[in-house]
Copies of this chain bind each other. A is one copy, B any other.
Amino acid sequence: MDYYSSQISNLIEELARLPGIGQKTAQRLAFHIINMPEDQVESLSASMISARKNIHYCKCCYTLTDGDLCPICTSDKRNHGIIMVVENTRDLAAYEKTGKYEGIYHVLHGAISPMLGIGPADIRLKELLVRLQGEVEEVIIATNSTLEGEATAMYISKLVKPTGIKVTRIASGVPVGGDLEYIDEVTLLRALDGRVEL
């Protein structure tokens, strides 16, 4: 790419390494960045560096945060007796956006996947068991509804049950607004199995 100056080529290459950013998008982003006001470029770049430097795992729930504990774990408005187990921070964010969940979280950072060689020791399961020694009423398993997520849910439920703590799994079924015609058979059967009385 010697028809660009080396600085543009460098920037395009670096941007193209980000996930989901191909060569074309990287090129468009690079030209945009070059035309951005200088202070905006500096602030974007400073945000990146400071986030990378200061963000680490919450010592309690293992979400990403800049303090020792995350805002959710330190909040006294949350019910610390209910722990929702999620696969990653984005899943936590998805439930937080609903604004209705009052408990706290535990982020596993992955799911058990024999195919990818990820075993129970590779995700934050040991840390979950340590937390269960405190005063916990309920563990809500909110791993994804994928093969790996389901396997992880089964594994966790087997681990937790002997402690006597209530273990629940989020419901799976037809999504709200979903048209039955377009929904796969496994989901339809799940929805039937999970039917509730009106």
Binding site for B on A (CB under 8 A): 1-8, 10-11, 14-15, 17-21, 25, 27-34, 36, 38, 40-55, 64-67, 70-72, 89-90, 92-93, 96
Contacting pair B49 A5 (CB below 8 A)? no
* Cα distance A38–B18 in the bound complex, in angstroms: 14
Q: A7: which of B38, B44, B66, B90 is its contact (CB, 8 Å)?
A: B66
Contacting pair B3 A15 (CB below 8 A)? no
Contacting pair B55 A5 (CB below 8 A)? yes
Contacting pair A29 B19 (CB below 8 A)? yes
Main secondary structure on A side of the interface with B = helix
Distance from A118 Cβ to chain B, minimum over Cβ atoms (Å): 16
Chain B residue nearest to A65 in the complex (CB): B5
Chain B residues, Cβ within 8 Å of A48: 11, 33, 41, 44-45
Contacting pair A64 B8 (CB below 8 A)? yes
* Cα distance A85–B41 in the bound complex, in angstroms: 30
* Cα distance A187–B54 in the bound complex, in angstroms: 55
* Cα distance A90–B55 in the bound complex, in angstroms: 36
Contacting pair B34 A15 (CB below 8 A)? no
* Cα distance A20–B53 in the bound complex, in angstroms: 27
Can you list 12 A-B pairs, Cβ within 8 angstroms, ordered by A?
Answer: A3-B71, A3-B92, A5-B65, A7-B47, A7-B54, A7-B55, A8-B66, A11-B48, A31-B89, A31-B90, A34-B55, A45-B45
Chain B residues, Cβ within 8 Å of A19: 28-29, 32
Query: A3-B92, A5-B64, A90-B27 known; A49 and B54 CB under 8 Å?
Result: no
